[in-house]
A and B are shown apart, each in its own frame.
Chain A
C-alpha cells in the first residue's frame, strides 16, 4: 500500500474481487450501484484487463464440506448437516480473495491459532467480527453480513437484503426480526448506550434530532427511511455502523421497560414489561454478570463478542467453558461458529481453524518470548525487534507489514482556544508554527529516536494514502534556526534577559507540553534542546491518561506532545472528527469542536480557516455526488496543508506483525486503521495452518 504501483495493483485486484463474487456466487454479493461505484471508476481499464484472471477463480459449490470436528457432531446427531446450517449457493458468501485482492488458497481444516491477549473492549472482535460491509485496502467495499443493499434516487430510503438460510451461532435463523429487534428494542431504547452516538441512523429534522424509521418488508428485507437524504458516507460507510442486529430469540427477556430505558413504540415488538432488577436476574441466569442495566446493554448489544453464550454471526464465538470464556482469562478461547455462513471457492465451510486462543500476558515482551517458543502464532512487533527475531527464527517466521493512515509521528499541537489572549494570538499565527517546525533538526531526531528508521516528515497523509502530496509532506521541514528566530520575532515575541522569548507585554512565554502515560518521556528531552536553542522556554507535564483528557476537556492547557486523538486519518468518510472540528475529540481544535457538537451552546465559535472546515464539511455531508464530495474533501485537505495545525517531525510509522510461517492466506501490505477495524482486515476465517 505504501508504494504507488502496489496500490494500483491492489485496486485492480479489488475490482476483480467484486467481479469474482458476482461471477462466482450467483448473487451472493449482489453488486449494486454503490458497491460498484466504490471500485474507483478511474480504474475501469484495469478492471477490464483482469477479467480473464477473474474467470480463473473456479467456484464450485456443488456440495459443501465441513471441518472433521463438526462432521463428527453431525454423525453423532448433535448437529444438523452442513447444508441445513448454512445458506444455499445463492445466499452463501463465497470468500475467494483477501483484502488486497490476492487469490486465497484452499486450506485444510484443524488446528488452533494462538494470539496474544485480547485486552480492551474490542480485542476479541478484531479477528472475528463480521460487519455490515467490509473494506478492501484501497477503500472499496462490499456487502458482508447483508447480501446486498440499495437506495432510492434521492437517498431517503435504504434497503438491506439479507441472506436466506443464514443462522445465528446457536442455529436459530437470522431474519429481519433480528434487525427490527436490535433497532427498536436495543438501539432506540438506548439499551446499547449508542442511540446518540451513532450518526448513521440519526438526522436532523426541524432542528431536532430524529431517527430513521425501520420497516420490515419481508423476512429477508428491511428498509431504513429518512426525511432528509442520507448519503453513503453518512450511512453505509460510516465507521460506527458496523452492525444492526441482535439475537431477538436470546435477548427478549433481557430488555427492560424502565424509566432509563423506556420501551419505544413500534409495530414489531411489544414492551417486555420487565423491571431493571428482573432483567438483571434473568441475565444472571444466563451467566451474564452485570452491575447495571447499562453494563448489561453494552455486554449483549454492543461489545457482544465478549459475552459468553450469546449467539452471534461472527466467525468465531466465545467459549462457554469456565476459565476460558472471558477476555480476562489467562487463556481465552474462541471456537469456530458451526453455523458460519461463508465458504471457500471449493465449498468448504469456513473458518478453517478450530479455534483462536488468546493468551493473556501481564508484561510487554512476554508475547514476543512466547512467539519465539512457538506458543503464539501472530504478534505485533516493534520495528527494532524485527531483525533480531527473524535472525533467530529463520524460516519459521514471516514478516507482515501494515500500512498506516496516521499523519506523521512525534506530533505536537497547540491550544488555539487558549483563554490567555497572548497564547491564542501567537498560536493563531502560522509563522509561529513554522518556527516550531523548522527549529528542529529532523535528521538528527530520526537518528536519536528511531535509529534512522523513520524519515523526516510532516503531519500529512503518508505516501499511498488518499490526499498524499509531496509538497505538504515536506512543508516546513528544512532545519533553519536563524529563520525560526526571525519568524518568532515577527510574531511579536521579544527576547528576555533570561535568553528566552517573552510576550510583547513582557509576560513570560512558557510552552508547557502535556503528554499522557509517559508517551513523551523519551522524545521530549530531544525536542526540548531544539526549542530552547531558539529561545523557547518549555516544559513537559506528563499525566495519567484520564487526568490528561480532563485537562483537555477543561481547556486548561497550552500545548500537547503526542495527542490522544491525532489529526487526520484514512479519509473523511471513514471518520470525520479528526479532520474537522465537529466533536469534543481532537486536541488540535479543542473548544471549536465543542461548539459544533453542542450546536453553539458551549465552546468557542470557530473563525477563519477553522470555520471554513466546518462549512465545507457540512457541504460534503449533504451532497450525493461522489465527484463533488471528493472536491470538498480536497478543499479540506488543502486547508490543512495551508495551516498545519498539528506538526509532526517524522513520517508515520507502519505496523509490523510476525506470523508463524505455517499460517497461510495471511495477506501482506494491509492497512492498520480504525475504519478497517485493524486486524479485521486479515480475515481470520480464511487463515489455515499448513500441515
Chain B
C-alpha cells in the first residue's frame, strides 16, 4: 500500500472518477426524492379523515359546534376537496418552484411554497424554522458528547481488554442502551427534583425564554442540558463503544500491526495511526443518519423532557393531520438522509484510500 500524505489524499479526492461518482449520485437524488415524496404524501394521507375533520373534532371538544357548510368551505380553501394525486402534484410543484406572479410569492417573496401548517395557521417553513437553530444546536452538543466520550473509552477498552475498566465501561454502556430513554429521563427528572427541588423540565428557565440565552445565564442553560445529554448520549455511546472496540481488537491482532510493533514503531503511533484509523470506518459510514437525526432526533425523549425541538412538532403534526407540516418535516429528513449518505461515502473515501467508486478500474 502506497503511503499517502494528506495532500495526496486531497488530490485523490478530485480524481476524475470521484467527481463522476458524485455527479452520478447527485443525479440519483431526483428519482429517489420523488419516490420518497410520493410515499410520504400518501402515507400521511392514510389515516381516516383529514385536518378539517380533526380540527372540527378539536373544536367540539372545546364546546364549539361547526356546521357542515363550514367544513366544506374549509376543505375548499385548503384544496382538500381535490383528488389526492392532484393535491400531491400541486404540493410538489409549489415546493420546487412557485412563480413570481402568485399570491404566495407576493406575500412571502419565496419561490418555494411549502404551504401552510393548518394547526399553527402559519407558513410551514416559518414553523420549521422556529425550532431549527435550537434543534441543530442541541443535537449537535449531544452528538459531540457521544463521540468524545465513547471513542476514547473504546480505544481504552480495546487496549485493556478484560480489564476492570473494560468491564465497567461495558456495563455502563449496556445499561445506557438497555434502559429506555424515556424511563431514564423520568428517573433523572425525579432525582433532580428530589435533590434540588427542581425537576428541570424543558431546556430553558422561564427567564431565558423571556430574555434569551446570554453569557450570564449560559451556566444555567448547561445545567438544563445535563439530563438530555445523559439520556440521549448514553443510549448512543454503547453502540459506538462496542463497534469501535471490536474493530480495534481486530486491527490490533492484524499482521501489519505486529510488523509495525516488531519494527519498533511506538505503541501510541501504532494505535492511533494504523489501528484506530481502520477501526472507525463503520462509525464514519454511520454518519449518514446523523444529519437527519440532527434535524429531528430523539422525539420521545424530547417529549418527556419538554424539549422544544423539531421531533415533538412532527409528532403533533401527524396527530392532528397537519399534513403539509408533517410532509415538510419528513421530506427534509429524507433529503438530509440522502445527503448524509453521500457525505459519509465521501468521508470514507477520504479516510480510506482503498475504497473506490466504480469498482476495479483503479
Which of B57, B67, B212, B321 has the most CB atoms of chain A within a 10 A radius of its CB?
B57
Do B206 and A294 touch across chains, with their CB atoms under 8 A apart? no
Q: How far apart are the CA atoms of A375 and B197 in the complex, in Å? A: 11
Q: How far apart are the CA atoms of A374 and B303 in the complex, in Å? A: 21
Given contacts A295-B121, A359-B206, A583-B65, contact A120 B201 (CB under 8 A): no
Q: How far apart are the CA atoms of A583 and B61 in the complex, in Å? A: 16
Do A544 and B201 touch across chains, with their CB atoms under 8 A apart? no
Do B57 and A299 touch across chains, with their CB atoms under 8 A apart? no
Given contacts A291-B78, A323-B209, A362-B303, contact A193 B70 (CB under 8 A): yes
Do A277 and B77 touch across chains, with their CB atoms under 8 A apart? no
Given contacts A277-B103, A564-B60, contact A361 B126 (CB under 8 A): no
Q: Does A452 contact B (CB under 8 A)?
A: no
The one of A121, A292, A299, A373 that contacts B193, using a Cβ cutoff of 8 Å: A373
Which of B57, B201, B304 has the most CB atoms of chain A within a 10 A radius of its CB?
B201
Q: Scoring B residues 247 to 273 as 1 if CB is less than 8 Å from chain A, else 0, what string do you get? A: 000000000000000000000000000
Which of A62-70, A325-333, A383-391 participates in binding chain B?
A325-333
Do A373 and B206 touch across chains, with their CB atoms under 8 A apart? no
Q: Does B28 contact A (CB under 8 A)?
A: no
Do B123 and A289 touch across chains, with their CB atoms under 8 A apart? yes
CB proximity of A550 to chain B, nearest CB, Å: 6
Q: Does B198 contact A (CB under 8 A)?
A: yes
Task: Write out the residue numbers on chain A whose beta carbons fall within 8 Å of the beta carbon of B116.
Answer: 291
CB proximity of A200 to chain B, nearest CB, Å: 14
Task: Write out the residue numbers on chain A whose beta carbons fall within 8 Å of the beta carbon of B193.
Answer: 369, 372-373
Which of A277, A289, A547 has the most CB atoms of chain B within a 10 A radius of its CB?
A289
B73 nearest CB neighbor, chain A only: A294
Q: Does A577 contact B (CB under 8 A)?
A: yes
Q: Does B89 contact A (CB under 8 A)?
A: no
Q: Does A85 contact B (CB under 8 A)?
A: no
Which of B106, B210, B321 has the most CB atoms of chain A within a 10 A radius of its CB?
B210
Q: How far apart are the CA atoms of A170 and B36 in the complex, in Å? A: 50
Q: Does A41 contact B (CB under 8 A)?
A: no
Task: Write out the residue numbers on chain B whose beta carbons fall within 8 Å of the beta carbon of A360.
Answer: 308
CB proximity of B87 to chain A, nearest CB, Å: 15
Interface residues of A, count at CB 8 A = 57
Q: Does B47 contact A (CB under 8 A)?
A: yes
Q: Scoring A residues 294 to 308 as 1 if CB is less than 8 Å from chain B, else 0, what string do you get? A: 110001000000000
Do A196 and B67 touch across chains, with their CB atoms under 8 A apart? yes
CB proximity of B297 to chain A, nearest CB, Å: 15
Do A361 and B67 touch across chains, with their CB atoms under 8 A apart? no
Do B201 and A369 touch across chains, with their CB atoms under 8 A apart? yes
Q: Does A114 contact B (CB under 8 A)?
A: yes
Task: Write out the residue numbers on chain B whose beta carbons fall within 8 Å of the beta carbon of A331.
Answer: 204, 206, 209-210
Given contacts A369-B193, A547-B48, A583-B65, contact A565 B60 (CB under 8 A): yes
The one of A290, A321, A324, A544 that contacts B47, using a Cβ cutoff of 8 Å: A544
Do B57 and A549 touch across chains, with their CB atoms under 8 A apart? yes
Q: Scoring B residues 51 to 90 as 1 if CB is less than 8 Å from chain A, else 0, what string do you get? A: 0011011111111111111100110011000000000000
Q: Does B49 contact A (CB under 8 A)?
A: yes
Q: Scoring B residues 271 to 314 as 1 if CB is less than 8 Å from chain A, else 0, what string do you get? A: 00000000000000000000000000000001110111000100
Q: How far apart are the CA atoms of A280 and B102 in the complex, in Å? A: 13
B209 nearest CB neighbor, chain A only: A331
Do B121 and A291 touch across chains, with their CB atoms under 8 A apart? yes
Do A362 and B306 touch across chains, with their CB atoms under 8 A apart? yes
Q: Does A357 contact B (CB under 8 A)?
A: yes
Do A373 and B77 touch across chains, with their CB atoms under 8 A apart? no
The one of B103, B122, B312 that contacts A280, using a Cβ cutoff of 8 Å: B103
Given contacts A193-B70, A196-B69, contact A330 B204 (CB under 8 A): yes
Do B202 and A330 touch across chains, with their CB atoms under 8 A apart? yes
Given contacts A330-B202, A359-B206, A565-B60, contact A294 B77 (CB under 8 A): yes
Which of A294, A324, A331 has the most CB atoms of chain B within a 10 A radius of its CB?
A331
Task: Write out the residue numbers on chain A whose beta carbons fall within 8 Å of the beta carbon of B121.
Answer: 289-291, 295, 299
Task: Write out the residue numbers on chain A whose beta carbons fall within 8 Å of the beta carbon of B198.
Answer: 373, 375
Task: Write out the residue numbers on chain B whose beta carbons fall within 8 Å of the beta carbon of A543.
Answer: 48
Given contacts A291-B121, A324-B210, A372-B193, contact A549 B56 (CB under 8 A): yes
CB proximity of A283 to chain B, nearest CB, Å: 9
The one of B67, B78, B210, B307 that contacts A333, using a Cβ cutoff of 8 Å: B210
Which residues of A in the span 471-507 have a Cβ within 8 Å of any Cβ on B?
none
Task: Write out the residue numbers on chain A whose beta carbons fall within 8 Å of the beta carbon of B49.
Answer: 544, 546-547, 550
A321 nearest CB neighbor, chain B only: B210
Given contacts A197-B65, A330-B202, contact A550 B106 (CB under 8 A): no
Do B206 and A357 touch across chains, with their CB atoms under 8 A apart? yes
Given contacts A330-B202, A333-B210, contact A289 B122 (CB under 8 A): yes
Q: Scoring B residues 198 to 237 as 1 if CB is less than 8 Å from chain A, else 0, what string do you get? A: 1101101010011010000000000000000000000000
Do A330 and B70 touch across chains, with their CB atoms under 8 A apart? no
Q: Does A44 contact B (CB under 8 A)?
A: no
A369 nearest CB neighbor, chain B only: B199
Q: How far apart are the CA atoms of A260 and B70 in the complex, in Å? A: 12
Do A674 and B77 touch across chains, with their CB atoms under 8 A apart? no
Given contacts A281-B107, A373-B193, contact A577 B304 (CB under 8 A): no
Q: Scoring B residues 105 to 133 as 1 if CB is less than 8 Å from chain A, else 0, what string do you get? A: 01100000000101011110010000000
Task: Write out the residue numbers on chain B whose beta carbons fall within 8 Å of the beta carbon of A328.
Answer: 120
Task: Write out the residue numbers on chain A whose beta carbons fall within 8 Å of the beta carbon of B68.
Answer: 584
Task: Write out the residue numbers on chain A whose beta carbons fall within 8 Å of the beta carbon of B61.
Answer: 120, 545, 564
Q: How far apart are the CA atoms of A331 and B49 in the complex, in Å? A: 32
Which residues of A in the span 504-526 have a Cβ within 8 Å of any Cβ on B?
516
Do A375 and B304 touch across chains, with their CB atoms under 8 A apart? no
Q: Does A267 contact B (CB under 8 A)?
A: no
Q: Does A122 contact B (CB under 8 A)?
A: yes
Q: Does A33 contact B (CB under 8 A)?
A: no
Given contacts A197-B65, A328-B120, A366-B201, contact A545 B54 (CB under 8 A): yes
The one of A373, A565, A674 that contacts B199, using a Cβ cutoff of 8 Å: A373
Q: Does A79 contact B (CB under 8 A)?
A: no
B74 nearest CB neighbor, chain A only: A294
The one of A295, A548, A584, A674 that contacts B57, using a Cβ cutoff of 8 Å: A548
Q: How far apart are the CA atoms of A543 and B74 in the complex, in Å? A: 23
Given contacts A294-B74, A333-B210, A546-B53, contact A369 B189 (CB under 8 A): yes
Task: Write out the residue numbers on chain A whose beta carbons fall within 8 Å of the beta carbon of B126.
Answer: 289
Q: How far apart are the CA atoms of A682 and B33 in the complex, in Å? A: 53
Which residues of B in the span 309-336 have a Cβ within 8 Å of any Cβ on A?
312, 321
Q: How far apart are the CA atoms of A460 and B80 in the complex, in Å? A: 41
CB proximity of A371 to chain B, nearest CB, Å: 10
Which residues of A in the span 294-350 have a Cβ within 8 Å of any Cβ on B?
294-295, 299, 321, 323-324, 328-331, 333
Do B201 and A375 touch across chains, with their CB atoms under 8 A apart? yes
Do A361 and B62 touch across chains, with their CB atoms under 8 A apart? no
Q: How far apart are the CA atoms of A677 and B210 in the complex, in Å? A: 29
Task: Write out the residue numbers on chain B whose beta carbons fall within 8 Å of the beta carbon of A196.
Answer: 67, 69
Q: Does A363 contact B (CB under 8 A)?
A: yes
Q: Does A51 contact B (CB under 8 A)?
A: no
Do B106 and A281 touch across chains, with their CB atoms under 8 A apart? yes
Q: How far apart are the CA atoms of A330 and B224 in the complex, in Å? A: 15
Do A674 and B63 touch across chains, with their CB atoms under 8 A apart? yes
Q: Does A585 contact B (CB under 8 A)?
A: yes
Q: Does A6 contact B (CB under 8 A)?
A: no
Q: How far apart are the CA atoms of A547 and B204 in the complex, in Å? A: 37
Q: How far apart are the CA atoms of A281 and B106 in the complex, in Å? A: 8
Q: How far apart are the CA atoms of A75 and B65 in the complex, in Å? A: 48
The one of A291, A373, A547, A565 that contacts B197, using a Cβ cutoff of 8 Å: A373
Mind listing 15 A-B residue pairs with CB under 8 Å?
Answer: A260-B73, A280-B107, A292-B78, A329-B209, A331-B209, A331-B210, A361-B201, A370-B199, A373-B193, A375-B206, A549-B56, A549-B57, A564-B61, A577-B65, A584-B67
Extra A-B contacts (7), CB below 8 Å, given A120-B62, A299-B121, A373-B201: A121-B59, A321-B210, A330-B202, A363-B306, A375-B206, A544-B48, A564-B60
8 smallest A-B Cβ distances: which pairs? A331-B209, A546-B49, A546-B53, A291-B116, A369-B199, A545-B57, A674-B63, A547-B48
